Each structure stands twice: as C-alpha cells, then as structure tokens.
Structure 1
Amino acid sequence: MCAGLVVGRVALQLSVPDEVASYVDTRAAAESSYIVVLDRQDLVLDKIRQDFTKRQGEWLPLSDVSPSFIKAILISEDKRFHEHGGVDWLALINATQSHVLHKIKTQFGATAAKGSGLGRGGASSITMQLASMLDPELQGQGGRSYGQKWHQIAAAFALEASWSKDEILEAYINLLPFRGEVVGVPAAAEAFYGKYSFGLNSRESALLAAMARAPNSSIARLTERSCDLLQKMDYANQCHGLSHFVSYYLNLPHPEVLDRHHDAPHIARYARQWANLQGTKVVRTSLDSELQKVGQSLITAHLSELSDESVQDAAVVVLDNDSGEILAYIGSSGTMSRAQEVDHIRAPRQVASTLKPLLYAQAIDERRLTAASLLNDAPINLLAGEGLYIPQNHDRSFVGWVSLRVALASSLNIPAVRTIVSLGVEPFYKKLKELHLPLEKASDFYGYSLALGAADMDLLSLANAYRTLANQGVYSSVRWNSEVSVSDERREVFSPEASWIIGDILSDRQARAYTFGLDSVLTTPFWTAVKTGTSKDMRDNWTVGWSEHYTVGVWVGNSDGSSMKNVLGVSGAGPIWHDVMRYLHQQRESIARPKPEQLVAQSVQFVGVDEAPRQEYFLAGTEMQQVVALASQEQGEAMRIKIQSPVDGTILALDPDIPATAQKLYLKATIPSTDPRAGSINWYIDGIQIAKGAGNFWSPNRGTHRITLKDENAKVLDEIVISVR
C-alpha cells in the first residue's frame, strides 16, 4: 500500500505541468464580453457587447459574491474544499468505486456506459475543475479518461501550491459556465435574476449551484438538485413551490437580459471608441443615470402631447456649471423617433434666436449698447451679398422703439439685426469662434442673418456657450469622462459684468411678457435665465438656459428636417426644459449670482417709449438717467416722404423658370399722414412715369434702373438706383 502511494506521488510529480497560470494572469485574461458604461455612481448606463462567443461579465472579487451562493456551490461541488490540498481523496475513492461497480453492472447491458472517465460526477474538486477550465486539454467530452483525470489531479496540486484558496474559489466562480452562452456567476445572476451576484438569496443560489453541475439539465432534474441543496443548507422549507420557481426563471429570455441596458446609447458610442483605444472594458462617465431616465421620460411625455403637430424627436443635455461635466446626454426620443440612432445633441441644426444673448453681451462689453439703450423695432432692408435682406419678427408685427432689455427678453428680431449692423458681422463671428461654436463657413456667408441664428450648430456646443455666461463669461470645455483628455483652458470671452446683465435680462419675467406673457414655461419658482429659438419653417426649436448650478439645453424637431406644425420653442422645447430644471432643483435652491462690484445700478426713465421707470445696470461710464425715443436723425427722417422699398443699391435676380410678367417688385413710399401731398406723388422708372400713390407693383427688366419719387410739381422727393439681373 505504501509502495503504491509512493509510486502515485512520483507519477503526480512527473505529471505536473511545466507552467502554472498565475492568478493575476488568469484574472487579466478573463475579459468581459461587454464594454460597460457606468454613471457617476458606478451604476450601469449601457452595455455594448464585443465578444459574441459568450456572455461574460466583469470579474468580481469573492467579497462581492453572495455568501448564500458560496455556501451552495461548496456543498454542491466540494464540501471539503478548505480541508484538502487540491484533491478530495475520500470523494474521489468513493466515486471511483461507484464508477467501477456501474461499469460491471452495465458491462453486459444493452447500453454500455459512455467513455471511461469519471467526469464531473467523479468527485472533481473545485480546484480540479478550475484546472480544466484553464487547460482545454483537460476538458473531457462525455467524461475524462483516466489519463486526463491523472493530469487534472496533478494540475490541481500545482494550483494549490501557488494560489490561495480564496483565489481558486474566486476564479472558479468567475469562470464557471452556465446555460447558453453565460459564463461566470456575475453574468448568471444578472441573466437569470436581473440582479448583482452579491444579492443572490438561498433559493436563487441553490438553482445556480445545481446548474453548475450540469447546465443543460431538465427543469425536473434541476428542481430535484436545487431542493437537495436547500435541504443541506438548512432551508428545506424553500423546496415548496420550487418547481414553479425553476420553471419561471429558466423560461425567461435570460441571455438577452444581459444586453438590456441602453439608458445612454449615444454617449455609449463615444465610450466604446475610447474603451477600444484604451484597452479597457469599463468606462466611467459623468452622467447621472436617474437624471438620464427622468429626461427620457419627460421627452416621451411631452412629445406625446404634440403627437398631432408632426414632431417626433427631441434631445436634452445637462451640464454642471462649475465642472463642465455632462450630467445628462439624451440624444433622441428613443422609440418615438424615426431615427433613434441619430445623436441630435451633436447634429448641426439652425439655432435661430439662441445667438442673441451672445450678440448683446458683446455689444454691451464694447460699450456700444446698454440694457437701457433703445433699438428701433421697425422694418429694415439691408443689402446682403448679392441680394436684399429683409428681416421680420416672428409674428410679422413691429413694436417700434424698445429697450435692449425688452428686445432680448422678448426675442425681437429687428433690434438684433440693427445691433449686428452696428457691431459688424466679422467681429461677432470671431466672438462665436472664441466660444468654440462650429461655424463651418466664412462670416460673409452668414451676413447679418447670423444675428438671428442662420447658422448650423449642435446643442452641446450651444449649451456650453450659455454655460460661459453662467460662469461670468469664462469659457471652459465640457467633459463626459474624467479620464478623457480635454483642454483645461479657461478663457474670458465676456466680462463678468456683461454676462451678469444678460443673465438678469433672461431671468426678467416682466421684460419677456410682450412675447411670452407673464406666466409661461420659461418661469420657474427659483432663479433661472433662459432663451428660446425657432428656426425657419419651424424645423427646429430650442430652449437653453441656466440656473445657479446647471445649464440645460433642449432641442425639439424631426430627424429628417421636416417642419413641425405650430410648435415654437416655448411650446416644444420649453416645457421639457422647465420640467428638467424643476427636477434638478427639487432639493437644491438656485439664486442669482451677486452683482459684480463694477456694475452701476441706476434708476432710468424712458420718454416716448411704453416702458415704466426702473432700476437698470450699467458698465461704469455708460450710465443713463433718461432715455428718449426718436432722439436721433431718424426723427427728422420719419417726417419726410421717402422710398421705403426697395432700398438704394438693391440687386435683384429674375428667376428664369417664372414668366417675366409674373415677377413683380413692390414699390412702397413712406408718407406722413399729415402731408397734404399724400395722394399726388408719382413714381418714375428711368425718367418715365409708371404709377401714382404710396404703393405700386412694377415688372422689372434686366439692367440698372433709377427709381424716382416726385410730387405733382415734379419736385424730386427721393431717388434710388437698383440693378436687375
């Protein structure tokens, strides 16, 4: 007997593999099948499958696995695991005897036992099973041969010599195959029960441990084995109803459950690219998973209310003002969208009136205007490129003289255009570039229409430009992952004083009452500054604004660029913005920043304008106490007869696809109602009289034409030159 043991020991030593995989290398090689995208609290936002041969999760330390499962798997597979040195000899001898007796009994039977090995039913210890997982040559199909079993034993001894017991058990639990493609207890717990492995209870643990012995066993067999384990775990009472429990969980589409996380599909794309470059499987983001879900549900709820208005898409981005971290990144309306894969946060769209705060901030900084300056909201014709630019307000009406405060808060177009004429297109263009706004064309491509947002930009860049105003005019980059390298540049684009004034205007409910009323979705019970915008033909609408802590940007429209039906920024994007802000400030107040010391508060009275006296804020040296409308040369100009349309120098182009007789130019004169010559003025084209009265249509022909306005005595009242091509 002693001689036999000595021979066996020598044989085992000769069978020891040349190299034994280390615990560290084994753990490093056990890659997850997924790139896992986590939120700021390490909750799963998204999972992107990379390996389609298996479904395996992240390696978990033993301390993160439920004690119930550890107890169940040890009872099932290796009850003396902590007592032996790699092989449970007692279990192995008993299994060998049973195997030999079974062979004798079936030797002359109709069906011989398949294979000659002992297999899993041959009392392979957990260490032996792990050795087979690590070495494919030790994995027997339909049972192992005695030679394979011998090498498996030798490999188990080698593992025990270099690994700790906890390392062996941890590796086993992470590499254990289950039904289908599921590998490892972390993946199995999520696949079968939708929970993390530390939360497994005794019944769930017993079923997984029963499955470990023979993953594809029948429901009846797994129920029997699970009950046996529960009895040994002192939970015999849990065998009641166990068959229904096993049947329910095994009939679920369990492997696909692992793919169910899609709370941030658009940010997951960037995470995947970054993870592949970095060679990592886990990406931690700055997002808040709960905010992400709330934002998505708000989009669904509000778009459902607009179901009859031809609108299907929306996007929401939330930024932390201080850090620049992206807290929510919802790129589409999900299942409501016809193109839910499109990332509308980064898709360039015409930004409409949302650039006005930036325009006025620059004008205030350059001391061209103050919040009390009067701007004429009246018709204006401007030469632009090779044509005529005639801006209009959204409602096609005009207010007349208004202060900058009212013009911005109520989003009037003509005052903004007059401001960019004064400021210059190129300087404003350069200011937008300083904010890293994506202007793809040269400044002259946009012309004066840049004041009204006739440029394609993305929601994230626009929201960060507003965050600059929230941060006293200091620009810095946004970030979605603290490990991603972004510029740490912090640069002052606007002064703190101008930024504060713009924030004060955009938070002024009274100033925006002309367009939006006193009570709208732009009003919140805490301090916020907000601006809306609606692009041409209602293709896009926006609401972007900030509180003390957050900047929120919302876009609503259609992925194919089609028009919506009567959906404006205040009715489309506005309600979503409002509710996101309300959610963010459920338990956090928001107050305005303190007024910068350099700002001067001054009481102002307005003459000739329907605006009540108020306290206004000025850059030092620009203060006003009284502002009078029509104080410029325009008052005198308004008292004389003149040609209003077209303007001098207009260049027109005839459309070759339209009959010349159908192409007419409207000639309009401005005539004071008190002027007795109102009914006797005459229009001349190149010296030939063509019409009488204040307004007439003329069919132009190609060439340069002189248009003259005369009274009944042939006195020239006004004259312009236009070109027709």
Structure 2
Amino acid sequence: MAARRHERIEPSFGGSELGDDDFRISADDRAVPNASSGPRRKTAKKPVNDRKPAKPAASSRRGRGKTQGGGGSGRGSGRRRRSFLGHVFRLFLMLGVVGGLTVAAVVGYMAAKLPQEAWAIPDRPPNVKIVSVGGELMANRGLTGGKEVSLDEMSPYIPQAVIAIEDRRFYDHWGVDPIGITRAFMQNMAAGETVQGGSTLTQQLAKNVFLNPDQTIRRKIQEAILALWLEQKFTKDQILEMYLNRVYFGSGSTGVEAASRRYFDKPAEEVNLGEAALLAGLLKAPSRLSPANDPAAAKARAEVVLAAMRDEGFISQAEYADAKAQKPTNAKSYWTGGEHYAADLVMRDIKQLVGDIDQDVIVETTIDLGLEKKAEEVVRKTVDGASQNVSQGALVSVDGTGAIRALVGGRDYAQSQFNRAVDAKRQPGSTFKPFVYATALEKGWRPESIIDDAPVRIGNWSPQNYDNKFRGPVTVADALRQSLNTVAARLVDSAGADAVIETAHRMGIKSDLVDNASIALGTSEVSLVELTGAFAALANGGYRATPHLVNRVVTEQGKVVWERGAEVPPVVVSPEIVGMMNAMLTRVVSAGTGRRAAIDGWQAAGKTGTTQDFKDAWFVGYTANLTTGVWLGNDNGAKMRKVTGGSLPAEAWHDFMTAAHEGLDPIPLPGDYRIGEAQAPLTADSGYSDGGFYEGESADPYYRQNGEAPIPPQGLPAEGGGRVYDSAPPPGVTVEGPARGRSSDRSLFRSIFGG
C-alpha cells in the first residue's frame, strides 16, 4: 500500500481538443525515482535533439479516452468539424482560383475583341464657329454644336452638378465602382424598377467615345475594361473634362458649351446654379427632359439635382432654395434667330472652300449682325401685321462687292429652317424687267425712245397690263416706271429672248431661263439671292457682284485656312447703260410703282414685281450703299389678297434700308444720266454682244403702231447706228434741270473695290 501510495499518477489531457499530434506530456519524458530507492538524484539529461518523442499506443489513447469519461468523443467530433471546414476552405479557394482564371480569360478575350482604335482617344468632332463681320458669334455648327472648353472655362456649378447626380464617388473609385453598383442594385430592387444606374462617369465616357449603346453583357464588360484603362491613362480632371465635352445634352447639343448656347443663349462659363442643375438633369433622358420639349419636366429634374448637390455639400441650403425658386427655362424647339439661315448657308459653302474639316475652325462671314437683326424684325413685323393672307417673307441685302450683309430666309427660323431667300425659286414677275430694258438699251433703245403701249400679240401670247388699260405712245423710261407689260413684251420681241437671257446670266442670274417672249414678264423662276445680286451690278457701276458669305476661315489658334481673294470682278454692264438704267429705275421709286420704298436723303432705285393671282410679291432696290431684295408670299402658293410689290414688300424695304442708312452720308448712284437732257455721243463701248462690247450696230428696234408700216423709235435713224436723240426732248418728256451729260466717274468703284 505504501508503494502504491507513492506511485505517481501522470496527468492526462484527454479532455483537450488537441489532436493526436498535439504536444502532451508522458511518463517517459521525465526521470522519476523509484519509491524505494531513496532520495531523488539529479540525472544527466540527453540533449533535446537526441530525444525522440515516443509514439503513444492506440490502446493507451483509447484507455485515456475512456478514463476521461467521453472526452475522446468530443475531441473526435471537433477533429471532424475541422476537417470539413478545411475541405470547404480548400474548395472555395479552388473555386476562387478557377473563377479568377475564368474572369481573367473572359476579360482578356473581351479586351482582344476591342478594335485597335479603342486604345486611343478619338478626336472630338470638329466645331465650326461662325461669326459676323464684327466678330460676334452667330452660330456653332458641326456634329457637336459647340466648341470644346476646359474645366476652367465653364461654370464650376456644372461639374459639381454632374458629379452629384451621376457619380458622387467619382474622385474615390478607380473607374468601376462596386459600392455604387451595389447601392444602385439595392435601390432598384426596392423600387421594383431601374431608378439608378451603377455606371461611373468614366464608364459613360468609355461608352460614348468607344462603344455603341447596346445593353449587352459583352458591351458592359468592354466598358469596364476601357474605364479601367482610362483611369490609368488620364487624371480625374481630364476624364471629367472629356466627359463634359462629349456627352449629349439633347436638341442637337453635344458638350456643355453647345448646350449652354442652345438652351440659355450664353457661354458655359456664365451658367448659374439653376441652369447647371438643369444641364446635369438632362443626362438621364436628354430628349425627353429637354426644356425645348418639356420645360416642367426639365425643372423637376433640376430640383432633384439641386437636392443631390446640397446633400453632397456642394451648395448651402440658401443656395438650394434660391436656385429652386428660378422659373422654368423655356427654350425654342430649335435654334432661333434669322442669322441661322446664314449659318446653314455657310456650312454648304465651307466644304467647297476648304474641303474636309479635321479641327475646330472659325468662319468669318460678311454678315452685319445689327443689320441681320433688323432684317429679321422687319420680315416678322411685316408678315405678322399683314391681313392679306401673308405667311412668309424673305430678305437679302448685299453690298457692292456681293458680300451678304443680311439674309433672312423666313419669318421664324425656329419654326421653319427652309431658306426662302436661297432655296425657293419663284417667278419674279416685273422685277425681271430691268434685264429686258438693259438688253434693249444695249441694242440701241434709249430712255427717251417712244414706244406704243397697245395690244400686242407674239405668236399665241397676248400680254395685258396689270390694270387692263393702254396708254398709247410712251417713252421707254415711262414704260418702266409704270411697269407696262405690253412694252416689255415688245422690247423682248425686238431684242430677242436669247439676248435677254444672256444679259440676265451675265449680271448674275444662275437659274435656267426659258427662251420665249413671256420672259419679259418674269415667268422663269429665280431665287431672291441671285436676283438681288444681279441688281447690285447697277448699284456698283457695272461690276459683277456675286453674293457670298465667307470672308475667311481660320483655326482656333489663328492660322488662316482659306481667305477670299481681292481680285477686281469683271465689268458686266457698261457705264453708259448703268447710267441710263439707274436714271430710269430711280423714277420707279420717286414717281412710279415703288414710291413706298423711297428713303429720305438717298437716291434709291428699284423695281416692283407681282405674279399672277398675287401669289408672289417682290421689291428689289438699291442705293450706292446696299442692294436689298424682299419677297412675300406663302409656301403653298396660296394667293395673297392683292398684295403687290409696290405695297408690303416696298414698305418692308423702306423700313430696313432706312435703318441701314442711318447716320451715313448720302452717295449718288453711278452714271448721273439725266433723262431728256442732251447727252454726249455714245462710245464704242456702249453695249454688249455675246459677252463683249457692242460695236455700234443696232438690231432693228422698229415697232408697228396701229397697223402702220414700221417706223424707228424717235431719235434713232432708220439706217440704224448707235446714237441717241440729241436735240429737243421727245413729246411728254420734261427736262429736269440743266444738261450735264454722262459721267464716267469711278469713285464708287474705288470706294468698293479699292481701285
């Protein structure tokens, strides 16, 4: 018993959760003295490295387990749990590796499928900035509708508003935002519909620049790949700047500058808080939320943006309240302003002038923006104030070189972009008669020549005067002053329709003209711009005045791409003919059908025109400063109620030209021919034939009166020749002052062309 009492019982760890290989203590690991051997003695220990832990027998483990009353069962259960978790961990690790490799493979495949050009930022479509002759902005054209601007050149509210509503973590993520995607997913699930997107601004930029808008998994993966690439290549500010200059804001506006001009008629740098919120709100649905389509919806969305800006700390509560109180923006459904008619015409011309444009350019035009605004005002006021079924009008004004100073193609550009001044061709009526009379003068007729206003038949055609009356013998000058149709027909019959057509084309008419006698009454269709340009040859002393809009094209850096030359145009009407025509057409304004066009202090000349059934009414007239044409009518050809060229068109011409000449010193028209006075003999260069000078021979300008034998016009010898009446004036012609003779003064030419 004593020996058993002193027997050492080794401690057991059977209840431990340690496994078989865990560290534990056994009797063999210690030197224990025998109970009968006396006091314990120190024994020498082997080095630790020389000891080999004894492997416990299975029976011993089982015995310990039993001894501990089930502790072994708990330990075995723990070992099984650990084994299971290990398997799960290894499974997930394996799946993660496989998944990662799969994702990498998919990403690599999608990246490889991207075209090579996707790895370079494409140039932004070039903008064409169109400015007036004074440098004022008229319009932006091109695919974008506005130039590219830096962050420093736009209102700071714009990027703040866009970040607040589109990507509040823009400066924190690396191109793809898992947090944003998760948040959007949760909100969309809660709402039961898509109320928020998870794409970052960088992803949107990648989509806009490189990809199509298709909503496919492949496109979304490629978008994410490109977004990551963009974030590595560019700074956040560069990405934001590119985005704001390339995103679509609706109504044909790409980029913040275009949108600011389009909706607020101001540059992006002047946009206020409320306007910036409206622009940012458009990004969700540019067409539907455009203030040009739905001002109320645009305003409601802008308030959502303002609230987001406040929540993000970009603006204060007071700023939020002030901006929210702004009235809704009411924008036209299209650009507004008559100058856009000219801008459209510039875009037609520019490709012919400079070819394809691959960078932003500035087009310097001939338009005087002050005159342009006045022209638009006059056309709208005339049409709106008329009670004679008038719905449209057009006006063109050119100087002596043909430079277009004002061009209005309709009552309201926002409602109709069709350019009636350029693209509409209509019968000009009696406004075509100056070409008839100029041809007759070149063939030997003179303003003082007498001709019979009586019934006339040319083939099967028998024209009538507008009042169905005949006046008998009249001077050529009086026939033009009163716009007598029978006389114009006789002159065409005398000079030949082909000669009249040649004169009209030489002076600037480009349209095809029908070779028949009815051309005398303007039955061939022409445009207002070409008719006005042709009249300008009489205003400038006889030089061709081809209408044009573009003076110069330069880059944004000032490099000249194209510039109009300074060549002197050819003479198309001799100085003598110019003088006679100006004398006759001055009488049309001072005492004829165009009296309502007269302007104080200036010598003005022109011609009225009214087509059959009052479908078209024209007045084209000029001073030494400007030549202006006005047309009124209806697009559908509906009849106006007795609107003649001498009524509303002449009045509109008067209003515009009065404003255009305000403050200018009067200049007389070239030529100084006095009808009925003694004139100097005609020179060899008094007329034209086949584009060259008329050599003094005369066509037979005889006429029949009351069925009698042909007799020559008074002052023209029967044997022909190029001289005119040089003694007493013909009957009925009043001498208006002392004889002065024709003047060959070219001061007007020098003032226009610098010669």
Q: For the superposition of Structure 1 and Structure 2, which TM-score range results when normalised by the shorter chain?
A: 0.5 to 0.7
Report what 1:492 is aligned to: 571
Q: Is the contact between residue 538 and residue 582 of structure 2 (CA under 8 Å) also seen in structure 1?
A: yes
Counterpart mapping for 1:540-555 below 5 A: 540-555=616-631
Report what 2:97 is aligned to: none
- What value does the CA root-mean-square deviation take over the aligned residues? 5.8
TM-superposition CA deviations, 1:671-699 (whole Å, max 9, x none): xxxxxxxxxxxxxxxxxxxxxxxxxxxxx
Structure number with the higher strand fraction is 1
Report what 1:611 is aligned to: 734
Report what 1:200 is aligned to: 271
- Matched residues in 1 for 2:285 and 2:435: separation? 67
- Matched residues in 1 for 2:526 and 2:263: separation? 45
Report what 1:298 is aligned to: 378
Query: Does the residue aligned with 1:457 lie in a helix, a strand or coil?
Result: coil
TM-superposition CA deviations, 1:182-227 (whole Å, max 9, x none): 7633355356645321211355446757988999996665333323
TM-superposition CA deviations, 1:325-378 (whole Å, max 9, x none): 3333333445999x9847364444333332333333344445x2444x241444
TM-superposition CA deviations, 1:503-537 (whole Å, max 9, x none): 2332347x852x449x6333444232211123344
Report what 1:457 is aligned to: 526
- Matched residues in 2 for 1:336 and 1:135: separation? 33
Match of 1:379 among 444, 448, 454: 454
Query: Does the residue aligned with 2:608 lie in a helix, a strand or coil?
Result: strand
- Matched residues in 1 for 2:227 and 2:511: separation? 67
Report what 2:696 is aligned to: none
- Change over 3 Å in CA distance of 1:393–1:64 after alignment to 2: farther
- How many residue pairs align between the two structures? 557
Report deviation, 1:570: 0.9
TM-score (norm 2): 0.58
Q: Does 1:343 align with 2:398?
A: no
Query: Does the residue aligned with 1:548 lie in a helix, a strand or coil?
Result: coil
Counterpart mapping for 1:115-194 below 5 A: 152=227, 155-160=230-235, 167-176=238-247, 184-190=255-261, 193-194=264-265
- Change over 3 Å in CA distance of 1:271–1:74 after alignment to 2: closer
- Matched residues in 1 for 2:334 and 2:651: separation? 32
Q: Is the contact between residue 148 and residue 245 of structure 2 (CA under 8 Å) also seen in structure 1?
A: yes
- Matched residues in 1 for 2:593 and 2:423: separation? 28
Report what 1:68 is aligned to: 156
Report deviation, 1:575: 1.0
- Change over 3 Å in CA distance of 1:365–1:441 after alignment to 2: closer
TM-superposition CA deviations, 1:63-112 (whole Å, max 9, x none): 7732433774699699999xxxxx967x88xx999999x99xx9xxx989
Q: Does 1:565 align with 2:641?
A: yes
Report what 2:309 is aligned to: 226
Q: Does 1:358 align with 2:435?
A: yes
Which residue identity lines up with residue 196 of structure 1 in the other structure?
A: P
Match of 1:428 among 500, 505, 509: 500
TM-superposition CA deviations, 1:133-167 (whole Å, max 9, x none): 6566999999x99999898556423335xxxx875
- Change over 3 Å in CA distance of 1:45–1:24 after alignment to 2: farther
Which residue identity lines up with residue 60 of structure 1 in the other structure?
A: E
Greater CA drift, 37-46 or 236-245: 37-46
- Matched residues in 2 for 1:497 and 1:370: separation? 11
Q: Is the contact between residue 460 and residue 553 of structure 1 (CA under 8 Å) also seen in structure 2?
A: yes
- Change over 3 Å in CA distance of 1:523–1:412 after alignment to 2: farther
- Matched residues in 2 for 1:137 and 1:565: separation? 55
Q: Does 1:320 align with 2:395?
A: no
- Matched residues in 2 for 1:219 and 1:564: separation? 47
- Matched residues in 1 for 2:621 and 2:280: separation? 54
- Matched residues in 1 for 2:462 and 2:380: separation? 39
Report deviation, 1:317: 1.8
Report what 2:662 is aligned to: 586
Q: Does 1:533 align with 2:609?
A: yes
Which residue identity lines up with residue 610 of structure 2 in the other structure?
A: T
Report what 1:244 is aligned to: 325
TM-superposition CA deviations, 1:422-479 (whole Å, max 9, x none): 5444433332232343574663x22xx4444344333222212111111211224222
- Ranges in structure 1 where 5+ consecutive residues have no aligned partner: 1-10, 51-55, 82-86, 622-725
Report deviation, 1:495: 0.8
Which residue identity lines up with residue 609 of structure 1 in the other structure?
A: G
Which residue identity lines up with residue 433 of structure 1 in the other structure?
A: H
- Matched residues in 2 for 1:456 and 1:99: separation? 64
Counterpart mapping for 1:260-275 below 5 A: 260-261=335-336, 263=338
Query: Does the residue aligned with 1:474 lie in a helix, a strand or coil?
Result: coil
Counterpart mapping for 1:559-708 below 5 A: 559-593=635-669, 595=671, 606=729, 608-609=731-732, 611-612=734-735, 614-615=737-738, 618=741
- Change over 3 Å in CA distance of 1:38–1:543 after alignment to 2: same
- Matched residues in 2 for 1:138 and 1:542: separation? 51
Which residue identity lines up with residue 732 of structure 2 in the other structure?
A: V
Q: Is the contact between residue 38 and residue 282 of structure 1 (CA under 8 Å) also seen in structure 2?
A: no
Query: Does the residue aligned with 1:492 lie in a helix, a strand or coil?
Result: coil
Rg larger in structure: 2
TM-score (norm 1): 0.60
Counterpart mapping for 1:17-96 below 5 A: 26=121, 28-30=123-125, 41=135, 43-44=137-138, 57-62=145-150, 65-69=153-157, 72=160
- Matched residues in 2 for 1:171 and 1:300: separation? 41
- Change over 3 Å in CA distance of 1:273–1:170 after alignment to 2: same
Which residue identity lines up with residue 349 of structure 1 in the other structure?
A: R
- Change over 3 Å in CA distance of 1:261–1:21 after alignment to 2: farther
Query: Does the residue aligned with 2:582 lie in a helix, a strand or coil?
Result: helix
